[in-house]
A = this chain, B = another copy of it.
């Protein structure tokens, strides 16, 4: 791997100058008094030899490696990681940096290993990422250098990039209100630990706050709230079934994430209800399934790529201390419609009777 590469000494020799001169020219140092001709000769020589500096040698001297560490709990191996890494990768490349990826898997020994590996390699900075938006504790060992938290916050006042879940909640509530939903908006995915413990999730509480705040501003309260022990399809399924067992039916269901929404689709389908004609569904995340469902699920996307990008920007662009709350764009698909024109009308037989052919999913 990389034998016989031209060294700086080779370039200098060919240009008929010293290593010092070559180094200064190639690094574009200001204030050197090297002649224009010397510049030309060095550039030409470097070009001809295909010179590329040896990173190890350079960083030995400068303590810079043009490498940033991407440390995560388990994010690197989940589908959520994709965008995060891609965004970071792109932004890093634009700044001529490279990404070293490690995973702690929430294991102290692994974390220790990851940190040592990082320190040994003198990375220029660390992106510390969490799979679920949450508060975490950053190991002290990496606090000597620049650190940016991704999808997480900590008590250390570190720069941190987060999705704007509260705004997304508001947007979702507004979307339903705008379509005419008011008194029969249900929500599934309430979950005490997620809402209360910031070490588990910051998203749940923020989403809820956004939803409630907006509804309240319109003088509306949630029609029903379904609790779920986890945010998985099966829980969305049972929560939705419970919802449908009530005497009155919601006109719209807000799901705390797309996997719950998937479960809701399943339950609605089995109940013979059509989305969005009978019930609208809207959600958070923009998981790939959201576009695979029939009808497509409207959902506030977690802007993974932007977030990864932003993390690198905050880490590397020294004067950048811009906003780190990244907006979550609403992907409008077909799962939201106006409520069936019956809120003011008496309910008819057929409304509560499952149709013979289930449409959704």
Residues of A within 8 A of B (CB): 1-3, 5, 52-57, 59-60, 63, 65, 67, 70, 76-79, 81-83, 85-86, 89, 93, 98-103, 110, 113, 116-117, 119-125, 142, 144-146, 232-234, 237, 259, 262-263, 265-266, 269-270, 272, 288-289, 292, 294, 354, 356-359, 361
Contact = CB atoms under 8 A, between A and B. Distances in A.
Contact of A56 (B3, B59, B263, B356): B59
B52 A116 contact: yes
Nearest to A64: B1
Interface centre among A5, A117, A289 (most CB of B within 10 A): A117
Contact of A1 (B82, B83, B125): B125
Contact of A121 (B55, B83, B113, B119): B55
24 contacts: A1-B119, A1-B122, A1-B123, A1-B125, A1-B142, A2-B119, A2-B145, A5-B119, A55-B122, A56-B56, A56-B57, A56-B65, A77-B83, A77-B86, A86-B103, A93-B110, A98-B121, A99-B101, A100-B101, A263-B292, A269-B269, A269-B358, A269-B361, A272-B357
A312 to B, nearest CB: 13
B269 A53 contact: no
A302 B77 CA distance: 15
A53 B70 CA distance: 21
Contacts of A65: 56
Contact of A89 (B5, B101, B357): B101
A139 to B, nearest CB: 13
Contact of A100 (B93, B99, B122, B269): B99
A2 to B, nearest CB: 5
A82 B85 CA distance: 11
A144 B52 contact: no
A69 B150 CA distance: 23
A138 B84 CA distance: 27
A176 B270 CA distance: 27
A110 B90 CA distance: 10
Contacts of A234: 292
Given A82-B78, A99-B101, A110-B93, A53 B120 contact: yes
A54 B270 CA distance: 62
Contacts of A272: 356-358
A56 B101 contact: no
A265 to B, nearest CB: 7
A89 B76 contact: yes
B356 A356 contact: yes
A266 B119 CA distance: 51
B144 A359 contact: no
A144 to B, nearest CB: 6
Contact of A101 (B78, B85, B113, B266): B85
A120 B55 contact: yes
A292 B233 contact: yes
A270 B120 contact: no
